[in-house]
Structures are given as C-alpha cells and as structure tokens.
Chains A and B, each alone.
Chain A
Amino acid sequence: MRKLLLPLASLIILAMLLSACGTPSGGEIVEVEVTRIVEVTTEGETQIVSAPAPGYGEILARVKERGRVVCAGRTDLLGFGYLDDDGRNIGFDIDLCRAVAAAVLGDPEAIEIVPVTAAERGPVIQTGEVDILSRNVTWTSSRDSQWGNFTITMFYDGQGYMVRKDSGIESQDDMNGASVCVTSGTTTEKNLAADFRERGLDFEAVIFEDTSSVYGAFFEGRCDVTTSDRSQLAAIRAGADNPDDYVILPVIISKEPLTPVVPHGDDQWFDIVKIVMYTLINAENPAYGPITQATVDDILASDNIKGKTVLGVEGDWGYSSLGLEPDALANALRAVGNYSELYDRYMGPFGIAFTLPRGANEHWTNGGLIYAPPIK
C-alpha cells in the first residue's frame, strides 16, 4: 500500500486537474453556463471557467463574470499609456479600453491594464489572455491573420526618424553609417532595415527589448538616430530634458495604422469593441452636436433625434444580439468623451502629454481619415 502512495497521489491530482477542465472543444455554439471553481493551487488563484471553446459570446460572458475588462497596454508611453502621479493608468489607448468597459460594464474604472513588452503583444492576444490589445499596434495583414481581429484604426500614424538637431542630418541620405536605436519585435525594425537597404545605405542597428532602453540609449548618445511611429517620437521628445535639441524629420517611411485588437474566434466581442469605437468617432460629427462628454445627458433629455440615435437610445443598433444595454454607448461617451476630446486631452493644444497636430487623424468632416459607419 505504501509503495502506491506516490502514484496514487499523482493520480488523484491529475484527476482533479482533468475534471476541472470541463468538456473539450466541441465547436458548437451552446448556452454559456458559467461555473467558477476557485482552486488555490499555488500562491495565487486560478479561475477555471467551464465554457465551450472560444466562440460567440464567450469573451463578453467572461468579462461580465470577472467584473472587468483586461487590456494589454503600456504604462510608460506618454500620451498613449502611462501612469499619472497617483499611479492611475491614463492615455489615449487606455481611454479606449475605458470606453469599452463603460459600455459593457457601466464603469470606466473596471479595467485591468496588463503591461506587455512589444515582443509579447502577439502571444498575449493569441492566447486570449487579454480581451483587448490597445497598445500602439500597427495593423498589418500578417498580424491580422496571426494575432487576432483588428477592430478599427483609431490613430493613423507613420514611421519617422528623430535625430539631434546638431547632427546635421536632414534626410535618410545623410544617415549613411549612422547608429540607429530601435525596439525589437516591431514593424519599425523591419521598415528601418528595408528603407536603408533600398537606398543602399549602411547603418548600425542598436536593438533593445524595451522601449525605455531604446530612448535612454538615444538620449545618452549611443546612437545618432532613433526611429518609431511619429506619435511615439513626439511623446518621447516631449519627455526629454530639452526637447528643442531634438528634431523629428519630416519623412514618413511607412503607414502605421494603430488599431485595437481583439482575439480571434469571438465575433460578438469584435462587434462590441468596433461599435464603441464608431460611437466615439460619430459623436464628433458637427451634424449631431457634436456630442461631448458634458452634453451627453442634455442630448439624451432633448428632442435631438439624430443625436439620440448616435447615443443608441433610439432604435435597435444591435445591442440585443450583442448582449448590451441600450445606453451602453451613452455610457462610453460619458466616460471618455468623443474622439476629439479624447485626442485633445492628451495631444491637443492643451494636451497634458504633448501637442501633435491631428494631421491624418482629423475627422472626415474636416478632411481627415477618421470615419465610422453610422449607428443605426
């Protein structure tokens, strides 16, 4: 009997683990029955949710049951995802997450920001560990096929170069033989190499895993040039000791449509996030107001049919099949404001991070690329 103790114990543990995993993937769409088995196996808690394979409705159910939306974001990029003095997560990307949380759970604070490095972005959304990846992610075809579903571009950016003003560099051709600091695992890296190779120029790549080391090295003088999305360069430049010593070159070497991503396999969640984004964009349309954070309640109480449609309280904009309340969109707007408020909060003329002209990010009514389908 004693000799069997070890194998028996392992058998019991294995049986427990196996039983906790529920049914294997069946592929059919079933009623989502959520049972929570909280097992304290190690120092933390594992939440095991018995549910069918990832499919329609799974993520929303998980979010509701968990009580918060898990977003992969940044905590160190001024303007997009960083911490304020109280340690609260703020930023453009973070606010997009808050908008979704407000729409789905009614509380913009019901978010959990998971900081990930650039190299971990793909795996973290592939495994479904986070619900939204809102982290300066460039929409590319390969990523769309491998990582997850890309919702709608919220920031049209391009890759550029930043140099020291006294280096005398004015274009790529002046950069032959220069040292360039870049983050690993990004499209930036590839575009940089391609750009230099096409021009027949040489460069020395100085590659780091985390962006803070990249810019730290640039400011120390380890390299002559640094390259990234121009918005990121602007953010970094604003946070430098003396921003006027640095210049962002006017060249743009690639398209960088920055888009929030959701995991593959759940169309409901995909639609939910997209529609929240549409609302933020549509609210800026002067034909409807524009609807701002402050005027949401006024418009809800008024007779403005167009405004109320955009806010989702007139007619069915699809909330029933999405499992949301009709006032979800109004909640989202109330939480973060419309697109221009969102943008200006961090990057406007009085932005708390820095100032970057909207450029391609203007509303389509002003000739920019920010456009969304109607809510109806």
Chain B
Amino acid sequence: MTDAGNTKPAVAIVLPPAALKPIAWVRRNLFNNWFNSVLTLLSLGLVYFVGRAVLEWAFISADWRPVTHNPILYLIGQYPRDQLWRVGASLLLVSFLTGMSWGKWRGIMRSFALLLGIGLAILGIIPAGGQLGSLAVSVFLLTNLPVTFLGYLLGSRKFVTGSWVLGGWLISFLLIPFLLRGIGEGTMLPTVETSMWGGLLVTLILAIGGILLSFPLGVLLALGRRSSLPVLKIFSIGFIEGIRGVPLVTILFMSSIILALFLPPELRIDRLVRALIGMTIFSAAYTAENVRGGLQAVPAGQIEAAKAVGLTNFQTTRLIILPQALRAVIPAIVGQFISLFKDTTLAIIVAINELLNIGKSVLQSDVEFLQLQFEVYIFVAAVFWAFSYLMSFASRRLETTLGVGER
C-alpha cells in the first residue's frame, strides 16, 4: 500500500558516459597537461611537414615511369610472353579454388576471395603501360572475379565436402609448378626454365612453398625435440639451435653453393629449388620453436586423460595435443609466415630474380631510370607492406574465429 507520506528516494539514474564531444575529446586526449600539449603541437607540426613532403613527392615530383613502363616485369619477370596463358591459367585456378573455399568455409575466406577477385579486377581497370595495358590482359584480369563467384557457387553446394576443397588445393600446388615449368620442346607446354621466372611470381612461390613445406617439418622437429629417443632429441635440438643461431643469408648461401658439395655430383638441383630448400630449413627451425611453446602449454592433464581413455601415443599427439598446441601459437606461427614472406627478398643474394631484384634490374635497364631509386624501392616496399599488413590483419581475424585465448 502506498503511504502518502513516503516519497520515493530520488534515484540518481547513472547514464553511461556519453561520447565526448569533439572539443572535450581534444582537451582530454591531446592537451590534458602542459607536457602533452607541447608534444601535440610538435607532433602536429611533424605530421604536417612530413605528410606534405611525402604527398608532394608521390603525386607531383616523382617519376613513376620505371613502375608504369612495364608493370608486368614486376609480376612475372622474364617469363616468355607467348606462354603467358600458363600463368593466367594458374591464376584462374587459384581464384576458383579461393571462391570454392569461400563457399565451403565462409568466414574469413570471404574476405580473401573478394580481395583477390576485386584486386585483380582493379589491376585490370587501371591504365598501365606495356603489356599490362593490353586489352587481352585487362579482360583476363577482370574474368577472375566471376570465376571466383563460380567457385563460390560450387563450394556452397551440399555435396562438396571439405576434403574435396583441400584436395583441390593440394592438386593445384602440384599442378601449378608443373604447368609453369612445362614438359619439353615441341609439346603444348614447352619448358620454361625457372631462371626465366621472376618478380612477384617467384616471391609468392618461395613464400608459399616455404610456408607449406616448413610447417610439417617444424612440427616434426618440435615433436622430435620432446621425444624420448635420445638420438632424435639431440639431432632436433642441434638442428633447431644451429639454424636459429645463424642469419638467413648464410643458410641461403649454404643451400645454394655449398650444398652442391654435400650431395653426389650427379644430382643437379634447380636454383629456385635450392633457395626454396634454404628458406624451408630456416623457417622450420623457427616454427619448431613456436610449436614447442604451444606443446608446453597443453596441460598435462590432457595427456593423462588421453592415456586413461586408452589412446596410443600417436593418436594422443594427433587428436589431443597438436590441435590445442597449434591453436595456442597461431599468432606466433602467422608472424613467422609474414617474416618468411619478407625474407624472400634475401634470395637476391643468391641471384634469384624475385621482386626486389626485378626492381634493381629495371633501374639499370634504362639510363633515364638510373636516378629513380626512390620510386622503385618505395613501390617494392609498398607491395610488401600491403601483403604483410593484410596477412597480419587476417591472422587477427583468424584468432577471433578460432577463439584463441578464450578457450
């Protein structure tokens, strides 16, 4: 019963803090004390000067001819232009598979697929000199987008399972190098030696090949390091610590030149493959250390429970330990992959014609380009930056998808 004399106590309704109005925000974040105010003014000045200089340079005074003159050099190097269809076919295959993965797994694959399709379409639309500006190439680049969608449609069908898509990827990784290299003269696929490959094609091959090969090797090494077989353990530890203690250039140098001495004289390994071996070995050692951290993070109780349930060692490793360990170290592993991608530039030391090397040769190809180092190297840096940033962004999304750190 309400009592007329009772007044309800005035309840102060506490509202959540409203978003600060711009002035208030500026006062709080930029000028909250005299030290910060000075810093802010200095920083604003710095940003203004640097920003203006950069923009002025980039859009007005820079001579972008080395880049726009023949952009396709940066993409595929010296690959014979009449065999371009093979690179094109590989690209279509990749677009298709990316679309299929999007259809099957959704989530982050959507960003990848759309990025690839739209990126290539943009590349086809922008006007550029040389071969890239030709109509055929533009049209081809634009067709990648619908092919991606085709893949999506196929991938979202019910009957397509994950193993189909994975199988498709596996086949493509074997097919693409074969397609690019060819079989022999006089056939439909004349041989194109790997010394003719160049540019972004080689960079991607080294990076993706290195990643794919080094990951299982790294996991094996990490498991070997923890194994109870003393010889395997000593070998794994020696290998990991030895490789981690030396710079990548020495490993590349070793695999390129010294390795030929350790193998029987009849074995002649392709230069690109040698560089790939060097990068794989290097990356495997670092991956092994990352995975080791993950293995140590798996609670002992999990292993004991697995044993109690009756799983064998192999099953325990495969079903219980590895999934948890790998999920825990995804940030570190993706970080390692990004490093590997950037480290492909070191292949310049062993005369591999990757993106940076192409930039360097473009500078020397024409007398007028000789002074334009800034333009070329900034362009190369920008390309690497774009790829790396996208990869780290994707890794952050992947982490949230897989629930790293939450479960």
Instruction: Verify that A and B bind, or say they do not.
Output: yes
**Chain A residues close to B by CB (< 8 Å):** 2-3, 5-6, 21-22, 24, 40, 42-51, 53-54, 67, 76, 83, 87, 112-117, 120, 123-124, 127-129, 209, 212, 216, 219, 239-241
Q: Which residue of B lies closest to A210 (CB)?
A: B360
A115-B195, A127-B260 known; A67+B367 contact, CB < 8 A: no
**Chain B residues within 8 Å of A42, by CB:** 209, 213, 273, 276-277
Please tell me if the beta carbons of A48 and B266 are within 8 angstroms of each other in the complex: yes
Please tell me if the beta carbons of A44 and B313 are within 8 angstroms of each other in the complex: no
Of the candidates B80, B195, B205, B363, the one whose C-beta lies within 8 Å of that of A114 is B195
**Chain B residues within 8 Å of A48, by CB:** 266-267
> Closest Cβ of chain A: how far from B86's Cβ, in Å?
15
Please tell me if the beta carbons of A216 and B364 are within 8 angstroms of each other in the complex: yes
Please tell me if the beta carbons of A241 and B370 are within 8 angstroms of each other in the complex: yes
> Closest Cβ of chain A: how far from B37's Cβ, in Å?
44
**Chain B stretch 159-184: residues in CB contact (< 8 A) with chain A:** 174, 177-178, 181, 184
Please tell me if the beta carbons of A114 and B271 are within 8 angstroms of each other in the complex: yes
Please tell me if the beta carbons of B193 and A44 are within 8 angstroms of each other in the complex: no
Give the complex CA separation of A5 and B177 in angstroms: 30
**Chain B stretch 369-397: residues in CB contact (< 8 A) with chain A:** 370
Please tell me if the beta carbons of B269 and A44 are within 8 angstroms of each other in the complex: yes
**Chain A residues within 8 Å of B272, by CB:** 43-44
Give the complex CA separation of A6 and B232 in angstroms: 11
Please tell me if the beta carbons of A45 and B361 are within 8 angstroms of each other in the complex: no
**Chain B residues within 8 Å of A6, by CB:** 220
* Chain B 129-152 per-residue mask, 1 if CB under 8 angstroms from chain A, else 0: 000000000000000000000000
**Chain A residues within 8 Å of B220, by CB:** 6
A2-B314, A76-B361 known; A67+B185 contact, CB < 8 A: yes
What secondary structure prevails in chain A residues at the interface with B? loop
**Chain A residues within 8 Å of B195, by CB:** 112-115
Please tell me if the beta carbons of A50 and B266 are within 8 angstroms of each other in the complex: yes
Of the candidates B184, B194, B312, B349, the one whose C-beta lies within 8 Å of that of A44 is B194
Please tell me if the beta carbons of B351 and A117 are within 8 angstroms of each other in the complex: yes
**Chain A residues within 8 Å of B268, by CB:** 46-47, 128-129
> Closest Cβ of chain B: how far from A199's Cβ, in Å?
33
Please tell me if the beta carbons of B276 and A21 are within 8 angstroms of each other in the complex: no
Q: B270 at the A/B interface (Cβ < 8 Å)?
A: yes
A2-B312, A2-B313, A115-B351 known; A43+B364 contact, CB < 8 A: no
A42-B273, A115-B195, A120-B351 known; A21+B313 contact, CB < 8 A: no
Q: B247 at the A/B interface (Cβ < 8 Å)?
A: no
Please tell me if the beta carbons of A212 and B360 are within 8 angstroms of each other in the complex: yes
Please tell me if the beta carbons of A46 and B269 are within 8 angstroms of each other in the complex: yes
Please tell me if the beta carbons of A123 and B257 are within 8 angstroms of each other in the complex: yes
> Closest Cβ of chain A: how far from B169's Cβ, in Å?
14
**Chain A residues within 8 Å of B277, by CB:** 42
Please tell me if the beta carbons of A5 and B266 are within 8 angstroms of each other in the complex: no
Q: Which residue of A lies closest to B364 (CB)?
A: A212
Of the candidates A5, A44, A112, the one whose C-beta lies within 8 Å of that of B314 is A5
**Chain B residues within 8 Å of A114, by CB:** 195, 271
Q: Which residue of A lies closest to B360 (CB)?
A: A212
Q: Which residue of A lies closest to B210 (CB)?
A: A43
Please tell me if the beta carbons of B351 and A116 are within 8 angstroms of each other in the complex: yes
